[in-house]
Structure 1
Amino acid sequence: MNKIQTSSLVAGLLLATNLYSNENLSEITVTSGFIETTEKSATYATEIYTKEEIQNSNSKDVYDFLSSQTSINVAPSYGNTFSQKIDLRGYGIGDGYQNVVVSVNGRRLNNVDMVSQLLSAVPLDSIEKIEILKGTGSVQYGDGANAGAINIITNGKYENYIKASAGSNGTKNGTLSLGYANDKVILNGFLDYTKTNGTRVLSDGRKDKNYNRNKDFNIIYFPTDELELRAGKKYSKMNILYGGSLTKADYDQNPNKASSFTENYLQSYVTNVGTTYTFSPKYSIDANYFTEDRLSKYTYSSGYKSNTDYDTESFNTKLDIKGDRYKAVIGVDGYFSDRRQSSNTTTKDNKGVFFSTNYFVNQDVKLSFGARKEYVDYTYVPNSGTRLNKDLSLNAYDLGVNYQIDETHSVFANYNKSFQAPDIDRFFNYGGTFNGFIEPAKVQNFTVGYNNIQKSNKLKISLFRANLKNEIYYYKLGGTSRNTNIDKSHKYGVEFFDKYLINDNLFTSINYSYIIAKIDEENDGNGTYNGKDLPGVSKHNVTVNLGYTYNKYKAVASHTYRSSAYAANDFANSFSQKQEAYNSTDVSLGYNYKNIEFFAKVQNLFDESNGIWIKDDSIYPVNFERTYNFGTKIKF
């Protein structure tokens, strides 16, 4: 991003602060892909949310926004609301998070083990845009981009404001955002603190209280018009008590109940530096380097404690080339992570080289092609015993075409080959014994779609199919359990998004997906799972919104529905209990007076009971009661 692009972004941020008007639905530029493109001209399926849409939702955090406003399925990891699991395109709420790459300003958040991406360290107010790329991203991001990629962008000048809110269960939040910009420099500072007294209660009256603190400081400096320098530091600290699962009888009687708590303490320090240099209108280079030092501590109800240290380094660099009828990118990247536990140190290193190009046949037809070669190295070093090593060499490809029918209509088709190298936990059995180096998953994705983007209406439709080989999962049948592969499986579905500005004051939107995920062949179970549905995948997922603005007032009502599914561990589709349908109706109100904004939100208005079924009589309540939140934001 050069100085001109950054200045445009700052101007866009200032325009987006008018939250109480229905603007035209102009197409948005996808900036997190290798090569910038618009929604209408993209050769793959996109789902994009602007700062205005994020702020208008009055969501409490990133997980809440993704769950209530997008096509993504989100659920706490065994009750841990700070570390939630993500599912896109039917990979299941159990392991779906390992099949989508999540990044923040280009920094990969996927972990070396089975810990899900830590989005609690990304304050929602700091986000400028969220871009969801579906069925693509393997050339750019490599390992794990089977379903696609979720890119969170916070670049640009922060707004200057103080925000405070309070709500149910003793929830309190305070945010300070500071930003300064001139022709040479952009300075940003962000402080965010949230605490909650808890929602679930032990028999002795103790509740699952928690807190979350985030600090973020960064600078962007322009020594010349051609050169941009970036540096930043981020600190996160959080602690949470979370309850275990409930039986069906206890869940029906009182989902607030808990028999025990697990305590999780997390601490993360992230440092980033980067630069962009524009040699000429045709050539530019971009390079970024990130480090993270993270500590995770668990105290279980039994009294057992475990400490895990993570050291992660990553980099990405690319050369951009622009011609009269083409754009191309060549680059290399790497992700190196060590996990240190009391008994061993385990390492997973990824190194990749890639190439991607867009070629404009004419003003209506665009072709895209990309390829990636990635090397993965595993090292297991126990305190005593044999050192183990494993190397993998994996490929990814992406081929797409977009045809613009006219100024508002376009169609596209995309083929993507992706892979998932196993995380380091997959090589171990329950209890810590070595399981073996299982096979990487490989996926072929096919997507076709249609876009219709007008001033008052934005419509997107896509159909997809994914053929999988060696899908990774945790096998459990009878007394046997281990990490292994599903030999063959497939997924297919349709995705529908429409946002319509009925008039200057009223808008409505719907986001719907229909997904089927099937197991074709699974040899470990001697055919027991063949032809079964992948558990934890809802066939029907829908979010609808209705918004109304009048003068300085704004109201938004939304409803999220996910149909019933097999419990997360029910690969044989034989459990007596299924995952019940999820329902939540939310209503938010806002009033803007000069530089002061007042807001309020009621979540789960009709007090629906929601939970995540792992197996029979193993239910983790989630968004299971009506809650409220209100506050104010003062800009200066």
Structure 2
Amino acid sequence: MLNKSILGVAIAAALSFSVSAEEQSIEHITITANKFAQSINDTLATVSVIERADIEKSNVRDLPAILNTIAGVDIVRNGGFGQKSDAFVRGASAKHTLVLIDGVRVSDASSGSVSLTNIPVNSIERVEIVKGARAAIYGSDAVAGVINIITRQATNNTLSATLGTDSYENYQLAGGIVKNAVTFNYNLGYEETDGYDVTGKDPSLAVTKDYDDDGYTNKNIGFNLAYKTENAGVFSALSQYSEGQGEYDNAYGNDAYDFENYTAKLGWEKSSAIYTQSASVSTSQEENIQTGTEDQQTYSTERVEFEYSGLYTLTNTVDITGGVNFLNEDLSDSSATSSEEQRDNTALFVGVFYDDDTWLGNAVVRTDDYDFHGRANTYTTALGYKANQYVTLRLSHGTAFRAPSLINAFVTDSLWYAPNSDIKPEESVNNEFGITLNTDWGRYDIAIFDNKIDNLIDNKLDANTGKYVATNIDKVSMQGIELSAEFEGFGFQHNVNLSLLDAKDETTHADLARRPSETFNYTVGQDWGAFDASLSMQYRSSRPAIYDIELAAFTVFNLSANYQLMDELSLQARLENITDKQYFTASTGFAENGELLGYNAPGRQLFIGATYQF
């Protein structure tokens, strides 16, 4: 059963409906949840959008901090800047959320993880978070949802500098030009910090090399180029590149890493009154080299992808979409060896979308044919009803899958792992019911979801060989409720969300580790002419650790402020963890005295910056 916080629900409801507000414009936002532009209310999915203006107003320093404000999303950090950060969407593990940059996959194909902390904030124009099964549209990994990061489209040239705690430095340059049919946008940045000691230490043990600050450096550059012709359509080219180093704690081996990540994409789109078609070819790399000892380990994934899709307006109420996708994944530059180091996937998809201004509906089917793992067929269906100009109801049902990695099936010459050539894809079934209310008092959303994952892949110890073998053994389920509200009241702007989650192992009936049953985010802010400020609160309930113990609940407060000193110059400040709360979201073990040790969260941190427009 869901552990419902009656007090939390009552507070959210009281905040939502006790005050008046100006009419919101979020319902007019267009997003690409179904791979073509739609109003956010017409997607029939639970969607959150973070715009560049939101990022700049909050002055957050990394992507995990941005995502941690969204209903149904919880970030598990192994420390601060540059450390491993996993996004748990609706209780599903990080590998069950597909992360894209401009529609290009960026995960490590061996583990399924994404180096979220290495995606620079200065490169982000907006973030779209679409929750629920989306495999029928995006393919493998879109089990709990999709995070699509759209890169910078700055029009004004801006130069900014930020200094902060732990010798933090950040310098950014972004801008763009529009000349006749050509649009060009660029961004580049440099970020560095000495960091802090990210793991708790047992005071009874000797001091080791891990008693040190864990620093981080990120250098990045990117561009977007578009050329619009009169008859042939729009041609585009974009790329994002970042490299750097990070340090961490590991008593037995490497304690630092170098990374080099990039995405590049060539695209074309042409529209007529009834037909829009697009094509793209992209390449990407996610590479992480573990350093600090002579035994360096490389984790590298290179991808090449091609897609063609079309959207045909059949009638005033019916649109048909479809397309073909080809994907190649290459792990041959990794240190881990496999008997198969590359694989291809070919996919076909088709969908129907209906909208008569009262009833909405869609159905999408897709078939993926992964080398070595066979065919996976998925679908998504949704029905919506606009009861009036304020209320929209939605009901969706869909399936999704996650393909095994090549390491799972074909690893060779490993001291720790053995292959399982019979490993099968993970499969899921997702159901959701939601209500959206857009009124003069604000925008409110309720989502109730149920997601079950079968054939979950886990590494099990083989007693005969003494090695771990990837095995389809577990079943997990995640049910929950999300309440969100954006409104104005008492002269302030409010953004509040509450999530209640019940995430269990269906075999043992135990709660899944690292998932809080209750999360609550609340931000209140206001503009006073040239000055604006906001105060945010993030609450996370207790959660089970991977050991037989619970991690304590915690609440963190953050303060942000901006001042427009003159037309060209503005000042920014952010104070994180105002109360210097000591907490952690992941444990590392126990001290001799029985004290639980974990990855330390940053304490109180202050960042001050300036931005100049020219």
**TM-score, normalised to structure 1's length?**
0.84
Instruction: Find the aligned partners of 2:296 and 2:108 in 1 and give their Cα distance.
Output: 21
Q: Deviations along 1:16-75, whole A, 9 cap, x unmatched?
A: xxxxx9984441222342243223233222122222222211100111111245531122
Q: Deviations along 1:473-514, whole A, 9 cap, x unmatched?
A: 3447998854323443321100111111115x4111211111
Aligned to 1:446: 431
Identify which of 156, 159, 162 aligns with 1:162. Answer: 159
**Aligned partners of 1:35 and 1:328 also within 8 Å:** no
Residue type of the alignment partner of 1:30: I
Aligned to 1:262: 255
Residue type of the alignment partner of 1:467: K
Q: Does 1:515 align with 2:501?
A: yes
Aligned to 1:356: 351
Shift in CA distance, 196/144, structure 1 to aligned 2, threshold 3 Å: same
**Aligned partners of 1:100 and 1:145 also within 8 Å:** yes
Q: CA deviation at 1:534?
A: 1.8
Instruction: Find the aligned partners of 2:196 and 2:543 in 1 and give their Cα distance.
Output: 26
Matches within 5 A, 1:92-111: 96-111=93-108
Q: Does 1:213 align with 2:207?
A: no
**Aligned partners of 1:25 and 1:454 also within 8 Å:** no
Q: Does 1:314 align with 2:305?
A: yes
Residue type of the alignment partner of 2:344: D
Q: Does 1:276 align with 2:269?
A: yes
Q: CA deviation at 1:90?
A: 0.8
Q: Does 1:376 align with 2:370?
A: yes
Identify which of 295, 311, 327 aligns with 1:335. Answer: 327
Aligned to 2:571: 598
Q: CA deviation at 1:244?
A: 3.9
Aligned to 1:46: 47
Shift in CA distance, 538/474, structure 1 to aligned 2, threshold 3 Å: farther
Instruction: Find the aligned partners of 1:224 and 1:561 in 2 and give their Cα distance.
Output: 52
Instruction: Find the aligned partners of 2:80 and 2:277 in 1 and give their Cα distance.
Output: 43
Instruction: Find the aligned partners of 1:174 and 1:70 in 2 and give their Cα distance.
Output: 31
Identity %: 22
Residue type of the alignment partner of 1:596: L
Q: Deviations along 1:246-294, whole A, 9 cap, x unmatched?
A: xxxxxxxxxxxxx98711001134322111122x211121111111245
**Aligned partners of 2:270 and 2:278 also within 8 Å:** yes
Q: CA deviation at 1:434?
A: 2.5
Aligned to 2:509: 531
Matches within 5 A, 1:44-83: 44-76=45-77, 81-83=82-84
**Aligned partners of 2:418 and 2:468 also within 8 Å:** no
Q: Does 1:490 align with 2:452?
A: no
**Aligned partners of 1:126 and 1:158 also within 8 Å:** no
Identify which of 298, 306, 313 aligns with 2:290. Answer: 298
Instruction: Find the aligned partners of 1:485 and 1:606 in 2 and give their Cα distance.
Output: 44
Identify which of 480, 485, 488 aligns with 1:501. Answer: 488
Instruction: Find the aligned partners of 1:186 and 1:50 in 2 and give their Cα distance.
Output: 20
Q: CA deviation at 1:584?
A: 1.7
Q: CA deviation at 1:159?
A: 3.2
Aligned to 2:9: none
Instruction: Find the aligned partners of 2:82 and 2:468 in 1 and give their Cα distance.
Output: 27
**Aligned partners of 1:612 and 1:619 also within 8 Å:** no
Q: Deviations along 1:507-553, whole A, 9 cap, x unmatched?
A: 112111111112223xxxxxxxx222222211101111111221211
Aligned to 1:184: 181
Q: Does 1:561 align with 2:558?
A: no
Shift in CA distance, 147/319, structure 1 to aligned 2, threshold 3 Å: same
Residue type of the alignment partner of 1:605: I
**Aligned partners of 1:84 and 1:116 also within 8 Å:** no
- The alignment partner of 2:602 has SS state of coil
Matches within 5 A, 1:369-408: 369-377=363-371, 390-408=372-390
Residue type of the alignment partner of 2:557: T
Q: Does 1:239 align with 2:232?
A: no
Residue type of the alignment partner of 2:609: G
- The alignment partner of 1:140 has SS state of helix
Identify which of 183, 194, 199 aligns with 2:196. Answer: 199
Instruction: Find the aligned partners of 1:579 and 1:350 in 2 and give their Cα distance.
Output: 41
Q: CA deviation at 1:436?
A: 4.2
Instruction: Find the aligned partners of 1:446 and 1:583 in 2 and give their Cα distance.
Output: 31
Residue type of the alignment partner of 2:59: N
Q: Deviations along 1:307-339, whole A, 9 cap, x unmatched?
A: 344322112220111131111211111221111
Identify which of 113, 137, 141 aligns with 2:138. Answer: 141
**TM-score, normalised to structure 2's length?**
0.87
Stretches of structure 1 that go unaligned for 5 or more consecutive residues are: 1-20, 246-258, 378-389, 522-529
Residue type of the alignment partner of 1:447: E
**Aligned partners of 2:161 and 2:609 also within 8 Å:** yes
Shift in CA distance, 466/448, structure 1 to aligned 2, threshold 3 Å: same
Instruction: Find the aligned partners of 2:487 and 2:97 in 1 and give their Cα distance.
Output: 29
- The alignment partner of 1:53 has SS state of helix
Instruction: Find the aligned partners of 1:474 and 1:496 in 2 and give their Cα distance.
Output: 36
**Aligned partners of 1:515 and 1:538 also within 8 Å:** yes
Aligned to 1:3: none
Residue type of the alignment partner of 2:455: N
Identify which of 609, 612, 615 aligns with 2:582. Answer: 609
Stretches of structure 2 that go unaligned for 5 or more consecutive residues are: 1-20, 199-206, 591-595
Aligned to 1:88: 89
Instruction: Find the aligned partners of 1:22 and 1:152 in 2 and give their Cα distance.
Output: 29
Instruction: Find the aligned partners of 1:315 and 1:421 in 2 and give their Cα distance.
Output: 19
